[in-house]
């Protein structure tokens, strides 16, 4: 016996234990997300998936759906807050999209377009985050990290390597790799790892394949993320 809730006024069926985001997706409704991934339990850190339930903001990727809930998602108010969260992520790191290998395939950039981000609004932090080019196949450009921990989770839970971890706290939080030298080249990281292929932005990138797909023909180039993401079936 499946139950239902209202998503932006439309009824959505769900199974016990499904989160709001899972049930909405199954019914064809997109909710923006960055740290959520279908292969992992919810993380709840990016807050792009916020929705309003009974006047309160909740993380739709983490909150189990309940019978009769009234969920507001695609509203000017919530999208405005999501846009501001994306703006915050842009000023926190150093994102020079034009020179980034991930441009066009980047979820952060695609969300910025989709949420009509017209400018960064907030003051830039310009953090000093040196790149790590010590690995033969992969490059780490920490400037673009949004701390979704997908690489951390994939490496720990799927690859069984724990190549990545976060250290520091607050605005000084940063990614480290599993080596005393601090260099990726000294870990057992491999380009076949799930962690090597999961970064939603342009931190973990392959060497020497730069711009193999021309800009203009990339994932989010002709269609916005709210369509592409639903076609992916993820």
Q: Which residues bind to another protein, rule: CB under 8 A?
A: 30, 32, 42, 44-48, 50, 57, 59, 62, 64, 74, 79, 81, 84-85, 88-89, 91-92, 97-99, 103-104, 113-123, 125, 146-147, 156, 161-173, 176-180, 182, 215-216, 221-222, 224, 226
Nearer to another protein, 98 or 233 (CB): 98
176 binds, among ligand SF4, another protein, ligand FES, none (CB under 5 to 8 A by kind): another protein
The interface with ligand FES within residues 34-63 (CB under 6 A) comprises 34-36, 44-49, 59, 61
Using rule CB under 6 A, residue 150 touches ligand FES: no
Cα distances (Å, whole numbers) of residue 128 to 93, 141, 175, 183: 9, 11, 13, 17
The reply on whether position 50 binds ligand SF4 by CB under 6 A is no
In the complex with another protein, the residue whose CB is nearer, 97 or 133, is 97
Site for ligand SF4 in 167-196 (CB under 6 A): 175
């Amino acid at each position: 016996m499946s139950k239902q809730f209202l998503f932006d006024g439309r009824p959505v069926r769900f199974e016990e234990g499904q989160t709001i985001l899972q049930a909405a997706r199954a019914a064809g409704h997109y909710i923006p997300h960055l740290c959520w991934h279908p292969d992992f339990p919810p993380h709840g850190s990016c807050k792009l998936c916020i929705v309003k339930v009974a006047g309160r903001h909740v993380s739709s990727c983490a909150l189990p759906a309940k019978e009769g809930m009234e969920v507001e998602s695609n509203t000017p108010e919530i999208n405005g807050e999501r846009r501001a969260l994306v703006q915050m992520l842009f000023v926190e790191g150093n994102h020079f999209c034009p020179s980034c290998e991930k441009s066009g395939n980047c979820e952060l950039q695609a969300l910025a377009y989709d949420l009509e981000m017209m400018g960064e609004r907030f003051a830039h932090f310009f953090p000093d985050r040196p790149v790590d080019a010590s690995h033969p196949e992969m490059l780490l450009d920490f400037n673009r990290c949004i701390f979704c921990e997908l690489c951390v989770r994939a490496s720990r839970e799927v690859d069984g390597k724990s190549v990545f971890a976060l250290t520091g706290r607050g605005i000084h939080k940063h990614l480290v790799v599993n080596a005393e030298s601090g260099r990726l080249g000294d870990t057992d990281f491999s380009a076949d790892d799930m962690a090597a292929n999961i970064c939603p932005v342009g931190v973990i990138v392959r060497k020497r394949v730069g711009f193999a797909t021309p800009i203009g023909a990339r994932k989010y180039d002709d269609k916005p993320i709210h369509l592409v993401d639903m076609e992916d079936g993820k």
